[in-house]
């Protein structure tokens, strides 16, 4: 059986968006006003001439009140009885990736693009967090430190320390998060060995 790829999913988004808009009785002009996305961009997106991106899909997901996975028709994996829907909090989307009752919990976090970045509002709570940036530039305020993380960079911290996550430049950000209660944290079991210049490696 041929597997569905991410490209296949994204290529089918246009016709699905057009059908959804027409079923809701919404014109392209009305949708452009509601989302802030130009009418020409929405038209090209529906016709398949414009590639679907997170910046375009997030406002459409909010207007239609449809989860991102359903909006793009992404295939569900694993046991459908435990398929977890995205959670929206503080203007951000959290997609649960695990459902064990205890231990470390995994999430994909999506911070939407904003013309004007939000001012940091650090919070504290019990636990320990590890994060990895997938796309975009993340601003991490951690105590007195103000950091900018790019794709491929990671951070870990005790959440009893005041912290805040947001976009560093107003663009959308995607990251993976592992969160555990106090005393439960991710452990690195192996790391690349470093050697001095000219030192023999085993």
The predicted-structure confidence for 92-126, as pLDDT tens digits, reads as follows 888 887 765 556 778 888 998 887 877 899 988 88
Could you list the residue range(s) of the whole structural domain that residue 142 is in?
80-180
CA–CA distance, 50 with 84 (Å, rounded to integer): 29
The predicted-structure confidence for 49-97, as pLDDT tens digits, reads as follows 887 777 777 788 778 777 766 676 655 444 444 455 677 777 788 888 7
Could you tell me which of 116, 128, 111 has the C-alpha nearest to residue 184? 128
- The continuous run of DSSP H or E covering 157 comes out as strand 154-158
Residues 91 and 167 in one domain: yes
Residue 193: inside a domain: no
Q: Bigger pLDDT: 12 or 13?
A: 13
Residues 133 and 61 in one domain: no
Last residue of a domain, one of 32, 47, 72: 72
Residue 100: inside a domain: yes
CA–CA distance, 164 with 118 (Å, rounded to integer): 11
Residues 63 and 150 in one domain: no
Cross-strand bridge partners of residue 158: 128
At 163 the pLDDT is: 93
Written in H, E and C, the secondary structure of 139-153 is EEEECCEEEEECCCC
120 close to 141: Cβ distance less than 8 angstroms: yes
pLDDT score of 5 more than 50: no
Q: Which CATH number do you get for residue 169?
A: 2.60.120.10
Residues 87 and 132 in one domain: yes
């Amino acid at each position: 059986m041929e597997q569905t790829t991410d490209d296949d999913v994204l290529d089918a988004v246009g016709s699905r968006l057009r059908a959804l808009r027409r079923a809701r009785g919404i014109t392209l002009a009305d949708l452009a006003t509601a989302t802030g996305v130009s009418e020409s961009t929405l038209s090209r997106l529906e016709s398949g001439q414009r590639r679907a991106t997170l910046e375009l899909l997030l406002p459409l997901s909010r207007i239609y009140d449809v989860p991102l996975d359903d909006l793009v028709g992404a295939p569900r994996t694993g046991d459908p009885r435990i398929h977890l829907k995205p959670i929206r909090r503080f203007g951000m989307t959290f997609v649960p990736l695990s459902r064990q009752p205890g231990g470390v919990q995994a999430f994909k976090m999506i911070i939407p693009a904003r013309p004007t970045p939000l001012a940091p509002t650090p919070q504290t709570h019990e636990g320990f967090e590890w994060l990895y940036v997938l796309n975009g530039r993340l601003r991490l305020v951690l105590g007195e430190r103000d950091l900018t993380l790019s794709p491929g960079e990671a951070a870990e911290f005790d959440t009893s320390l005041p912290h805040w996550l947001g976009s560093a430049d107003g663009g959308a950000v995607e990251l993976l998060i592992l969160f555990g209660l106090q005393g439960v944290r991710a452990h690195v079991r192996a790391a690349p060995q470093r050697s001095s210049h000219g030192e023999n490696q085993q």
